[in-house]
Amino acid sequence: MELPCGGGSNMGVWRVRMVMLATIILPPPSPSALLELHFTSWLILVAAVFAVAFFYSSVGHGGATGYLAVLALLGVTLASARVAVLIANVLVAGVAWWRFGRAGHFDWRVLLAFAVVSMPAAWFGSKVHISPSAYKLVLGSVLAGAGLVLLFRARQQTDDVILRGFFLPLALLIGVVLGFLAGLTGIGGGVFLSPLLYLLRWVKPKTTGGVAAGFIVLNSLAGLVGAGAHAITHAGVLLWLTLPAVTGAWFGTHYGARRWNTVTFSRVLAGVLVFAGGKLLLEAAA
Protein backbone atom coordinates (compact mmCIF):
# COMPACT_ATOMS: atom_id res chain seq x y z
CA MET A 1 0.00 0.00 0.00
CA GLU A 2 1.38 3.38 -1.00
CA LEU A 3 1.26 6.24 1.46
CA PRO A 4 0.04 9.61 0.16
CA CYS A 5 2.76 12.17 -0.47
CA GLY A 6 2.54 15.82 -1.30
CA GLY A 7 2.12 16.33 -5.02
CA GLY A 8 2.17 12.56 -5.61
CA SER A 9 5.84 12.75 -6.54
CA ASN A 10 8.00 9.64 -6.63
CA MET A 11 10.58 11.45 -4.54
CA GLY A 12 8.03 11.90 -1.76
CA VAL A 13 7.12 8.23 -1.85
CA TRP A 14 10.76 7.20 -1.57
CA ARG A 15 11.28 9.54 1.37
CA VAL A 16 8.39 7.95 3.22
CA ARG A 17 9.80 4.51 2.48
CA MET A 18 13.23 5.50 3.76
CA VAL A 19 11.73 6.88 6.97
CA MET A 20 9.78 3.65 7.48
CA LEU A 21 12.93 1.59 6.86
CA ALA A 22 14.98 3.71 9.27
CA THR A 23 12.25 3.30 11.89
CA ILE A 24 12.52 -0.48 11.59
CA ILE A 25 16.33 -0.62 11.63
CA LEU A 26 16.97 2.17 14.13
CA PRO A 27 14.17 2.36 16.72
CA PRO A 28 13.60 5.75 18.38
CA PRO A 29 15.73 6.32 21.50
CA SER A 30 14.20 4.89 24.64
CA PRO A 31 15.40 3.04 27.75
CA SER A 32 13.69 -0.13 26.48
CA ALA A 33 15.01 0.10 22.91
CA LEU A 34 16.66 -3.31 23.10
CA LEU A 35 13.32 -4.95 23.87
CA GLU A 36 11.99 -3.64 20.54
CA LEU A 37 14.75 -5.13 18.39
CA HIS A 38 14.09 -7.84 15.85
CA PHE A 39 15.89 -11.18 16.15
CA THR A 40 18.24 -10.28 13.29
CA SER A 41 19.10 -6.97 14.96
CA TRP A 42 19.89 -8.83 18.17
CA LEU A 43 22.28 -11.13 16.29
CA ILE A 44 24.00 -8.11 14.73
CA LEU A 45 24.25 -6.44 18.13
CA VAL A 46 25.76 -9.53 19.77
CA ALA A 47 28.26 -9.94 16.92
CA ALA A 48 29.21 -6.25 17.09
CA VAL A 49 29.76 -6.37 20.87
CA PHE A 50 31.87 -9.52 20.47
CA ALA A 51 34.00 -7.83 17.77
CA VAL A 52 34.46 -4.67 19.83
CA ALA A 53 35.51 -6.67 22.89
CA PHE A 54 37.88 -8.79 20.80
CA PHE A 55 39.83 -5.89 19.31
CA TYR A 56 39.71 -3.57 22.32
CA SER A 57 40.73 -6.26 24.82
CA SER A 58 43.59 -7.36 22.55
CA VAL A 59 45.29 -4.04 23.40
CA GLY A 60 44.20 -3.97 27.05
CA HIS A 61 41.08 -1.83 26.66
CA GLY A 62 37.55 -2.48 27.91
CA GLY A 63 35.71 -1.32 24.78
CA ALA A 64 33.40 1.29 26.33
CA THR A 65 33.57 3.69 23.39
CA GLY A 66 32.79 0.86 20.98
CA TYR A 67 29.82 -0.44 22.97
CA LEU A 68 28.38 3.05 23.26
CA ALA A 69 28.75 3.55 19.49
CA VAL A 70 26.90 0.29 18.73
CA LEU A 71 24.12 1.01 21.22
CA ALA A 72 23.71 4.59 19.96
CA LEU A 73 23.06 3.24 16.45
CA LEU A 74 20.24 1.16 17.91
CA GLY A 75 18.67 4.15 19.66
CA VAL A 76 19.61 3.25 23.25
CA THR A 77 19.99 6.35 25.43
CA LEU A 78 23.21 7.01 27.33
CA ALA A 79 21.37 6.95 30.66
CA SER A 80 20.36 3.34 30.01
CA ALA A 81 23.70 2.23 28.61
CA ARG A 82 26.25 3.92 30.84
CA VAL A 83 26.19 1.53 33.81
CA ALA A 84 25.97 -1.60 31.67
CA VAL A 85 28.97 -0.36 29.68
CA LEU A 86 30.94 0.20 32.90
CA ILE A 87 30.15 -3.35 34.03
CA ALA A 88 31.22 -4.74 30.66
CA ASN A 89 34.36 -2.62 30.97
CA VAL A 90 35.22 -4.18 34.34
CA LEU A 91 34.74 -7.73 33.06
CA VAL A 92 36.48 -7.30 29.69
CA ALA A 93 39.39 -5.29 31.07
CA GLY A 94 39.61 -7.73 33.99
CA VAL A 95 40.21 -10.57 31.53
CA ALA A 96 42.80 -8.43 29.73
CA TRP A 97 44.51 -7.50 32.99
CA TRP A 98 44.80 -11.16 33.99
CA ARG A 99 46.00 -12.33 30.55
CA PHE A 100 48.57 -9.56 30.04
CA GLY A 101 49.83 -10.02 33.62
CA ARG A 102 50.31 -13.76 33.14
CA ALA A 103 52.23 -13.09 29.93
CA GLY A 104 54.58 -10.72 31.80
CA HIS A 105 53.23 -7.50 30.28
CA PHE A 106 52.43 -5.54 33.43
CA ASP A 107 54.00 -3.06 35.88
CA TRP A 108 52.43 -2.56 39.32
CA ARG A 109 54.48 0.54 40.09
CA VAL A 110 53.20 2.44 37.07
CA LEU A 111 49.58 1.36 37.57
CA LEU A 112 49.45 2.27 41.26
CA ALA A 113 50.98 5.68 40.59
CA PHE A 114 48.04 6.45 38.29
CA ALA A 115 45.29 4.61 40.17
CA VAL A 116 45.87 6.04 43.66
CA VAL A 117 44.67 9.43 42.42
CA SER A 118 42.58 8.43 39.38
CA MET A 119 40.02 6.39 41.38
CA PRO A 120 38.79 9.24 43.60
CA ALA A 121 38.93 11.54 40.58
CA ALA A 122 36.79 9.06 38.59
CA TRP A 123 34.27 8.89 41.43
CA PHE A 124 34.07 12.70 41.48
CA GLY A 125 33.80 12.85 37.68
CA SER A 126 30.85 10.45 37.72
CA LYS A 127 28.96 13.03 39.81
CA VAL A 128 29.53 15.88 37.34
CA HIS A 129 27.14 16.47 34.43
CA ILE A 130 28.16 18.95 31.71
CA SER A 131 27.47 19.52 28.03
CA PRO A 132 29.98 17.25 26.29
CA SER A 133 30.04 18.75 22.76
CA ALA A 134 33.26 20.76 23.01
CA TYR A 135 34.88 18.04 25.10
CA LYS A 136 34.10 15.40 22.45
CA LEU A 137 35.45 17.62 19.68
CA VAL A 138 38.79 18.21 21.41
CA LEU A 139 39.23 14.70 22.77
CA GLY A 140 38.12 13.07 19.52
CA SER A 141 40.71 15.07 17.61
CA VAL A 142 43.44 14.13 20.08
CA LEU A 143 42.62 10.40 20.04
CA ALA A 144 42.26 10.20 16.26
CA GLY A 145 45.50 12.16 15.82
CA ALA A 146 47.34 9.94 18.30
CA GLY A 147 46.03 6.85 16.53
CA LEU A 148 47.20 8.06 13.11
CA VAL A 149 50.66 8.95 14.44
CA LEU A 150 50.96 5.55 16.11
CA LEU A 151 49.79 3.82 12.92
CA PHE A 152 52.57 5.41 10.88
CA ARG A 153 55.14 4.74 13.61
CA ALA A 154 54.05 1.20 14.44
CA ARG A 155 57.20 -0.33 12.95
CA GLN A 156 59.27 1.59 15.50
CA GLN A 157 57.33 0.06 18.43
CA THR A 158 59.47 -2.99 19.14
CA ASP A 159 60.31 -4.93 22.29
CA ASP A 160 63.80 -3.38 22.39
CA VAL A 161 62.52 0.22 22.51
CA ILE A 162 64.63 2.37 24.86
CA LEU A 163 62.64 3.27 27.99
CA ARG A 164 62.74 6.60 29.80
CA GLY A 165 62.90 7.20 33.55
CA PHE A 166 59.61 7.04 35.44
CA PHE A 167 58.60 10.46 36.87
CA LEU A 168 56.14 10.09 39.76
CA PRO A 169 54.84 13.72 39.99
CA LEU A 170 53.87 13.69 36.31
CA ALA A 171 52.21 10.27 36.73
CA LEU A 172 50.11 11.59 39.62
CA LEU A 173 49.00 14.61 37.61
CA ILE A 174 48.08 12.41 34.65
CA GLY A 175 46.18 10.07 36.96
CA VAL A 176 44.00 12.88 38.34
CA VAL A 177 43.14 14.29 34.90
CA LEU A 178 42.46 10.93 33.23
CA GLY A 179 40.50 9.62 36.20
CA PHE A 180 38.22 12.65 36.15
CA LEU A 181 37.70 12.29 32.39
CA ALA A 182 36.95 8.58 32.83
CA GLY A 183 34.27 9.28 35.42
CA LEU A 184 32.85 12.18 33.45
CA THR A 185 32.43 10.17 30.23
CA GLY A 186 31.45 6.82 31.76
CA ILE A 187 34.41 4.87 30.36
CA GLY A 188 37.45 3.35 32.04
CA GLY A 189 40.03 5.79 30.69
CA GLY A 190 42.41 3.28 29.10
CA VAL A 191 41.86 4.84 25.69
CA PHE A 192 43.35 8.05 27.14
CA LEU A 193 46.23 6.35 28.97
CA SER A 194 47.63 4.09 26.23
CA PRO A 195 48.80 6.83 23.82
CA LEU A 196 50.38 8.72 26.72
CA LEU A 197 52.31 5.63 27.82
CA TYR A 198 53.53 5.17 24.25
CA LEU A 199 54.63 8.79 24.14
CA LEU A 200 56.31 8.78 27.57
CA ARG A 201 57.93 5.35 27.03
CA TRP A 202 57.82 4.42 30.70
CA VAL A 203 57.00 0.78 29.85
CA LYS A 204 57.38 -1.61 26.91
CA PRO A 205 54.72 -1.33 24.17
CA LYS A 206 52.79 -4.47 25.18
CA THR A 207 53.01 -3.54 28.86
CA THR A 208 50.82 -0.54 28.03
CA GLY A 209 48.05 -3.11 27.50
CA GLY A 210 48.41 -4.59 30.99
CA VAL A 211 48.66 -1.21 32.70
CA ALA A 212 45.73 0.24 30.71
CA ALA A 213 43.59 -2.81 31.57
CA GLY A 214 44.22 -2.42 35.30
CA PHE A 215 43.57 1.32 35.03
CA ILE A 216 40.22 0.64 33.34
CA VAL A 217 39.10 -1.91 35.93
CA LEU A 218 39.84 0.35 38.90
CA ASN A 219 38.34 3.50 37.37
CA SER A 220 35.24 1.66 36.15
CA LEU A 221 34.67 0.27 39.64
CA ALA A 222 34.98 3.79 41.05
CA GLY A 223 32.48 5.01 38.46
CA LEU A 224 30.04 2.25 39.42
CA VAL A 225 30.30 3.22 43.08
CA GLY A 226 29.55 6.79 42.10
CA ALA A 227 26.56 5.73 40.00
CA GLY A 228 24.98 3.79 42.89
CA ALA A 229 23.13 0.47 43.14
CA HIS A 230 19.90 1.90 41.69
CA ALA A 231 21.66 2.65 38.41
CA ILE A 232 22.86 -0.96 38.13
CA THR A 233 19.32 -2.32 38.45
CA HIS A 234 18.14 0.28 35.91
CA ALA A 235 20.50 -1.21 33.29
CA GLY A 236 18.19 -4.23 33.02
CA VAL A 237 18.40 -6.20 29.77
CA LEU A 238 21.58 -4.37 28.73
CA LEU A 239 23.51 -6.45 31.27
CA TRP A 240 23.11 -9.49 28.98
CA LEU A 241 25.54 -7.84 26.59
CA THR A 242 28.34 -8.63 29.02
CA LEU A 243 28.20 -12.27 27.84
CA PRO A 244 29.37 -11.67 24.23
CA ALA A 245 31.74 -9.00 25.56
CA VAL A 246 33.53 -11.39 27.92
CA THR A 247 33.61 -14.09 25.24
CA GLY A 248 35.22 -11.66 22.80
CA ALA A 249 37.71 -10.61 25.45
CA TRP A 250 38.71 -14.21 26.12
CA PHE A 251 39.80 -14.65 22.51
CA GLY A 252 41.09 -11.11 21.95
CA THR A 253 43.44 -11.12 24.93
CA HIS A 254 44.91 -14.46 23.83
CA TYR A 255 46.03 -12.92 20.55
CA GLY A 256 47.02 -9.54 21.98
CA ALA A 257 49.09 -10.84 24.90
CA ARG A 258 50.63 -13.97 23.39
CA ARG A 259 50.22 -14.34 19.63
CA TRP A 260 50.60 -10.92 18.00
CA ASN A 261 54.03 -9.35 17.74
CA THR A 262 54.58 -5.84 19.03
CA VAL A 263 54.17 -4.17 15.63
CA THR A 264 50.79 -5.85 15.06
CA PHE A 265 49.78 -4.94 18.60
CA SER A 266 50.66 -1.28 17.91
CA ARG A 267 48.66 -1.26 14.68
CA VAL A 268 45.57 -2.68 16.36
CA LEU A 269 45.88 -0.10 19.14
CA ALA A 270 46.17 2.63 16.50
CA GLY A 271 42.96 1.38 14.89
CA VAL A 272 41.17 1.40 18.24
CA LEU A 273 42.27 4.98 18.92
CA VAL A 274 41.19 6.20 15.47
CA PHE A 275 37.81 4.48 15.88
CA ALA A 276 37.27 5.97 19.35
CA GLY A 277 38.36 9.44 18.22
CA GLY A 278 36.20 9.27 15.10
CA LYS A 279 33.17 8.26 17.17
CA LEU A 280 33.62 11.28 19.43
CA LEU A 281 34.03 13.63 16.45
CA LEU A 282 30.85 12.31 14.84
CA GLU A 283 28.95 12.81 18.09
CA ALA A 284 30.29 16.36 18.39
CA ALA A 285 29.19 17.15 14.83
CA ALA A 286 25.70 15.70 15.33
Sign, Cα dihedral of 232, 85, 129, 218? positive
Reference 203, options 176, 168, 164; nearest CA is 164
Question: Does residue 122 belong to any structural domain of this protein?
Answer: yes
Give the whole-angstrom CA distance, residue 192 versus residue 47: 26
More confident residue, 101 or 222: 101
Q: What is the pLDDT of residues 48-98, one digit of tens each?
A: 899 989 988 888 888 887 887 777 777 665 556 777 778 888 899 999 999
Give the whole-angstrom CA distance, residue 160 versus residue 202: 13
Question: Does residue 160 belong to any structural domain of this protein?
Answer: yes
Can you give the pLDDT at residue 80?
Answer: 60
Residue 222: exposure state from Cβ atoms within 10 A (0-12, 13-18, ≥19): buried
Residue 272: count of CB within 10 angstroms of its CB = 26
Share of the chain above pLDDT 70, in %: 74
Question: Does residue 8 belong to any structural domain of this protein?
Answer: no
Q: What is the pLDDT of residues 228-278, one digit of tens each?
A: 666 666 666 677 788 999 999 999 999 888 887 777 887 888 888 888 788
Question: Does residue 77 belong to any structural domain of this protein?
Answer: yes
Reference 42, options 78, 70, 79, 77; nearest CA is 70
**Domain assignment of residue 47, given as a range:** 39-285
Which one-letter amino acid corresponds to residue 95?
V
Q: How many domains are contained in the chain?
A: 1
Question: Does residue 31 have a pLDDT over 90?
Answer: no
Assess contact for 127 and 226: CB atoms under 8 A: yes
Question: Does residue 26 belong to any structural domain of this protein?
Answer: no
Question: Does residue 93 belong to any structural domain of this protein?
Answer: yes
Q: What is the pLDDT of residues 131-153, one digit of tens each?
A: 667 667 767 787 788 788 777 76
Question: Does residue 96 belong to any structural domain of this protein?
Answer: yes
Give the whole-angstrom CA distance, residue 157 versus residue 270: 12
Assess contact for 175 and 113: CB atoms under 8 A: yes
Question: Does residue 212 belong to any structural domain of this protein?
Answer: yes
